[in-house]
Amino acid sequence: MISFTLLKRNMKTCFKPFLVVLAVISMYTSVIIYMYNPDFSDIFNEYQKMMPGVMAAAGMTGLASSLLEWIQIYLYGFIMMLFPLIFIIIMIHKLLMGDIDSGSMANLLSTGNSRGRVIRTQVVSALFWIVLLLGMVAAVGIASSEAIFPGELDIKRYLILNASAMFMQFAVAGISFAAACVFSETRHYYMVGAGLPLLFFLIQMVSNMGEKLENLKYVTIYTLFSANDIVAGEAVHWGQNAVLLLLAAALFGTGSWWFVRRDLSL
């Protein structure tokens, strides 16, 4: 069981940062889709030639032969990884770390809610916000594509692309969640719960530059998000998605177990 009173509070607490991040990603999504025409394509191709290192680091490489490939190249290497990450860091702090650090978790537990009930509610809230964010972004992408380039978007693969991105963010949220359950101070949470996902993201950017740096991709979980394989229609991404889900479940489960058994200022 979960606490619906706490769930309601969580909806209010996270709504503003959710709205801001959704607005930013939706804007980028609509603009990138609008730019899918020969004139802008040539401009972006020139950017790849002029700044190959920068564009490669952001995952913006390759020539798009379809609208889906265009979206994948210019959104899912950087924008759709970074901005959800920022939201997750803020969200987990608001749902859990802030209450632990300030001592208000004691007040929450004194209302009769068990630790198990509280932490289950926070897990449900975190997953809900991630699903809502990626779901609404997918809706914006489909609506924009059909309005500007009707019939050109492979909607099925686009939805698979967004689902895989969502699984990726589940795993990222698991890292932040576990850190919030373990640490008692916000500074430690930011060092691990925010620092580790950001480090993985930066390593992924460096590995995208290729050559001797390419092997760095094996030390970051972002490699498990196989956007290129999804767009190409290859089935390998299903195995990677399964790993991401198992990783997320392990992190959320471990964090919840630790929270129930840890010492808190009561």
- Fill in the amino acid letter for 168: M
How high is the pLDDT of residue 122? 96
Helices (H), 110-236: 115-148, 155-182, 186-189, 195-207, 227-232
Ramachandran bin of 99, using left for φ above 0, alpha for ψ from -120 to 50, beta for the remaining angles:
alpha
Nearest-angstrom CA–CA distance, 16 and 128: 15
- Res. 111: pLDDT tops 90: no
- Res. 214: pLDDT tops 80: no
Res. 263 pLDDT band, cuts 50 70 90: confident
Residue corresponding to tokens 């198990």: 116
How high is the pLDDT of residue 77? 84
As a whole number, mean pLDDT of residues 142-166 equals 95
pTM for this model (two decimals): 0.91
Looking at 64-73, 83-92, 192-201, which range is the least confident one?
64-73
